[in-house]
Amino acid sequence: MSNNKNEIHESEKKLLLNHDYDGIQEFNFPLPNWWLTTFWGAIIFGIGYFSYYIIFNGPDLKHEYFVNKEEIHALRAEYLAKLKKFDVNTYTSYASSPEMVKHGEYVFNMNCVACHREKGAGDIGPNLTDEYWLFAKGTPETIFPFIIEGNPLNGMPAWGELLGEDDLYAVTAYIMSIQGYPHENPKAPQGEIPEKE
């Protein structure tokens, strides 16, 4: 453009639009390349996206959710199957450690007292200190997997999905430690006395 605001440089005349408004004329400068690249790129992407997901039925979020859900369920089942394998040596180390039995009491008080009462005297859930058992047989080998699986029909949650392996072994050791605890007002016996093997 020339120094005089009213004069138009020769090279700019071809960019001048053929109209004016109150004596004002406009230039028709081309859009910048970055803007055109973004614009046409978005259109090309949109066509490709629409074709893949709508025309050719590409996987959508719902499909990905179900795929991930199946993978999570498989991993969870694998983890629980591994977790349910009771290890006698691990249990023995927990049961022989006063600190771990104390930790088991803490886990019990945080999660089990609401149904089994303090020291396992029984409330909604059965008394855990007498000789009678509904599902487990009063041994750590049967109590441990029962805590993991639970029994939802009878109101016992599956704690294997909520507690870690340490907590499960510790609370099993604690339950075994309160066998025969002299409660003043325990819940009446439920279940049967399991046969000793």
Cβ-contact 159, 168 below 8 angstroms? yes
* CA 53, chain centre distance (Å): 28
Q: Write out pLDDT tens, residues 169-183.
A: 999 999 999 999 999
Q: Which domains does the chain have, with CATH numbers?
A: 1-67 (no CATH), 84-177 (1.10.760.10)
Report the SS3 class of residue 156: strand
Query: What pLDDT, in 10s, does the model give residues 123-151?
Result: 999 999 999 999 899 999 999 999 999 99
Where do the H-state alpha helices sit in the chain?
A: 33-50, 61-83, 88-95, 98-111, 113-116, 140-149, 165-177
